[in-house]
Chains A and B, each alone.
Chain A
Amino acid sequence: MNGSFPPTLRRPSTFRERLAFAVLLVLAVIGYALCLKVAQVDFGRLWEGLPRLARWAARAWPPDLTEVGVLSLRAAETVAMGTVGTSFGALIAIPLCLLAARNVTPSSILRLPARGLLNALRGIDSFIFALILVAAVGLGPFAGVLGLALHAAGSIAKLWSETLETAEPGPVEAVTMSGAGRLKVIRYALLPDVLPSLSSITLYFWEWSVRASTVLGVVGAGGIGQELKNSVDLLAFDRVLTILVLIIVMVTVIDGISGWLRRRLT
């Protein structure tokens, strides 16, 4: 064997196909160059800023451990925000995903508005929701919880509905043929098949919500993120380092627990 096929076995590309590929390539390069320009990417400025970053890094050591207890409580507040936000989001997602899944809700009159709503919810970031909700319900973690819940509801419902749609149709037909009603079919044929995937998606969003809730403090939604913003504003880099270490530990532990649970579900 010489390792290459005779030319007749390969589909010859036409001039038109080669031209189309070249045009697409040029357009992609121009588009990317425009993105770099619009995003004002300037590595010179990064180079100039490096000494300043190095000075701040030097000032961060040793980390300020005097408030570790308080900061740990604020980290726990962040975990609580993520956990409650995800659970509220999952509760909102239950009816939404059922209405949005084609095999559960064949009627487009119900399905399309449900899809529109979940797309709107997942289209708006939890940060934006929290920013608006802080004005409505005041500063503190509750605004963060609501922001996370609304965004997570849309995202979870979208993934759940797609999972429902990929469920095996055979068991559903078999249970339908027993004369059972729609709710019983969903509970007995659909749910056991997709439950591990639905749980895995929820755990993934729990991880995501805890990470996202560290940022929500920036808009006044409490948690460790608020402490981080305050410390950066005061240029207290030794305190910033302590907070960053706490965030890394917190996220690593949550990722570990979530990953362990997801592996057990499959």
Chain B
Amino acid sequence: MTLLLTAKGLHKTYKGRAVLGDASVNLRSGEFVAILGASGSGKTTLFRCLTRLVEPDAGTIIFEGRELVGLRSHALAKARRRMGVVFQQFNLVRRLSAMENVLVGRLAEAPLWRVMLRHFGDDDLRRAAAALSAVGLADHLHQRADTLSGGQQQRVAIARALAQESRVLLADEPVASLDPETAAAILSLLRDLTHTAGLGVLCTLHQPHLVERFADRVLTMEGGRVTSLSDA
């Protein structure tokens, strides 16, 4: 398994309070790594530092052999194309359809004029439809995002990451607001993707029983540090 993502010694302080202290993590292709930790343990900050939505105060992030910390906007955007993210609150554009939300994954590749006119090429449309089909939403292509159920919206968010053809998928508490049955279905889908698409999935979770059931490897976080490492 290829090493995709390695973060070492990440630190982040907000208003004098250390929320991330010397956090380190690595992720290989085809593995599902779960991060378990209580609220406020630093899981979301770790994810936001890994994607550089938040700048870490110190540490290194190597993604596909390239250092992310210090990358300027254009180079960072290029690296992010191969890094899919699934957010706890889905973060869909609520007035757009499921299909248009999945096409977000094709934005970086599409010419500017196509994006301005929201007129995507046939190839992009096919990829987006295939991604929606992979998450079981082939019948909801043109349904507006805000009319979908929570579980369906999360599936659209995963399809968005799939359409991006990313190598890693960072999922920040993707099942926190879902019922147990839908949560299990979403995690099952993520685990299947590690096998079928060779994705590396890093996923924060609250529920130990789900971690035990789905994860290949478990990290636990406490007080901003990754405190233990084990096979599930």
- Contact assessment for A178 and B104 in the assembled complex, using a CB-CB cutoff below 8 Å: yes
Bound CA span A180–B103, Å? 11
Q: When the two chains form their complex, are residues A170 and B107 in contact, meaning their CB atoms are under 8 A apart?
A: no
Give 1 or 0 for each of A184-196: 1 = CB within 8 Å of chain B CB. 1001110011011
Whether A192 touches B93, Cβ cut-off 8 Å, given contacts A177-B51, A179-B77, A179-B78, is yes
Mask, B108-134, CB within 8 Å of A = 1, is 101010011010000000000000000
Are B112 and A179 in contact, with the CB atoms below 8 A?
A: no
Nearest-neighbour CB distance to chain A for B122, whole angstroms, equals 19
Q: Which of A179, A180, A184 has the most CB atoms of chain B within a 10 A radius of its CB?
A: A179
Q: Is the CB of B160 within 8 A of A174?
A: yes
Chain A contacts of B164 at CB under 8 A?
Answer: 178-179
B213 at the interface (CB under 8 A from A): no
| CA distance in complex: A253, B110 (Å) | 44
* Alpha-carbon separation in the docked complex, A183 to B113 (Å): 11
State in angstroms the CA–CA spacing of A117 and B96 once bound together. Answer: 34
Within 8 A of B (CB), among A159-207: 168, 170-171, 173-181, 183-184, 187-189, 192-193, 195-196
B107 touches A183 (CB 8 A): no
Q: Does B49 contact A (CB under 8 A)?
A: no
- Chain A CB within 8 A of B36 CB: no
The reply to whether B115 and A184 form a contact with Cβ atoms under 8 Å apart is yes
Within 8 A of A (CB), among B132-184: 157, 160, 164
Segment from B81-89, B185-193, B201-209, B217-225 that makes contact with A? B81-89
- Beyond A178-B164, A187-B115, whether A192 also contacts B96 by CB under 8 A is yes
Contact flag A188-B81 (CB < 8 Å), given A177-B51, A177-B53: no
In the assembled complex, which residues on chain A have CB atoms less than 8 Å from the CB atom of B115? 180, 183-184, 187-188
Q: Which of B53, B77, B93, B104 contacts A181 (CB 8 A)?
A: B77
- For residue A177, give the distance in angstroms from its CB to the closest CB of chain B: 5
What secondary structure prevails in chain A residues at the interface with B?
A: helix
Partner of B53, one of A173, A178, A180, A196: A173
Query: What residues of chain A lie closer than 8 Å to B83, measured between beta carbons?
Result: 177
Q: Which of A29-44 contact B (CB under 8 A)?
A: none
**Cross-chain contact A178 with B81 (CB below 8 angstroms):** yes
B95: Cβ under 8 A from any A Cβ? yes
Is A177 a contact of B80 with CB atoms below 8 Å? Answer: yes
Q: How far, in angstroms, from A178 to B165 measured CA to CA in the complex?
A: 10
Interface size class of A (residues with CB under 8 A): 20 to 34
Which residues of the other chain, B, contact A196 by a CB distance below 8 angstroms?
A: 95
Question: Closest residue to B86 on the A side, CB-wise?
Answer: A174
Residues 30-80 of B contacting A (Cβ, < 8 Å): 51, 53, 77-80
Check: B8 CB closer than 8 A to any chain A CB: no
Chain B nearest CB, measured from A164 CB (Å)? 15
Give the Cβ gap from A175 to chain B, nearest Cβ, in Å: 5
Decide: B107 and A171 in contact? CB cutoff 8 A: no
B211 at the interface (CB under 8 A from A): no
> Once the chains are docked, how many angstroms separate the CA of A193 from the CA of B160?
18
Q: How far is the CB of A161 from chain B (nearest CB, A)?
A: 20
**B94 sits at the interface (CB 8 A):** yes
Q: Which residues of chain A have C-beta atoms less than 8 A from B91's C-beta?
A: 170-171, 173-174
B104 touches A170 (CB 8 A): no
Q: Determine the distance from Cα of A24 to Cα of B164 in the docked complex, in whole angstroms.
A: 61
Instruction: Determine the chain B residues whose CB is within 8 A of the CB of A179 once the complex forms.
Output: 77-82, 107-108, 164
Q: Determine the chain B residues whose CB is within 8 A of the CB of A183 once the complex forms.
A: 112, 115-116
Minimum CB–CB distance for A44 against chain B, Å: 58
Chain B residues, CB < 8 A from A187: 115-116, 118
- Chain A residues, CB < 8 A from B77: 179-181
Nearest A residue to B164 by beta-carbon distance?
A178
**A193–B112 CA distance with the chains assembled, in angstroms:** 19
The residue in chain B whose Cβ has the minimal distance to the Cβ of A192 is B95
User: Among A173, A180, A192, which residue has its beta carbon within 8 angstroms of that of B107?
Assistant: A180
**Shortest beta-carbon distance, A66 to chain B, in Å?**
52
Q: Point out which of A173, A180, A181 has the most chain B C-beta atoms below 10 A from its C-beta.
A: A180
Question: What chain B residues lie within 8 Å of A181 (beta carbons)?
Answer: 77, 108, 112
Closest to A185 in B: B107
Q: List 13 A-B contacts (CB under 8 A).
A: A168-B94, A170-B91, A174-B160, A175-B104, A176-B80, A178-B80, A179-B77, A179-B80, A184-B108, A187-B116, A188-B107, A192-B95, A196-B95
Which B residues contact A (CB, under 8 angstroms)? 51, 53, 77-85, 87, 89-96, 104-105, 107-108, 110, 112, 115-116, 118, 157, 160, 164
- Give 7 nearest A-B pairs by CB, closest first: A179-B81, A170-B91, A179-B108, A174-B91, A180-B107, A179-B80, A171-B93
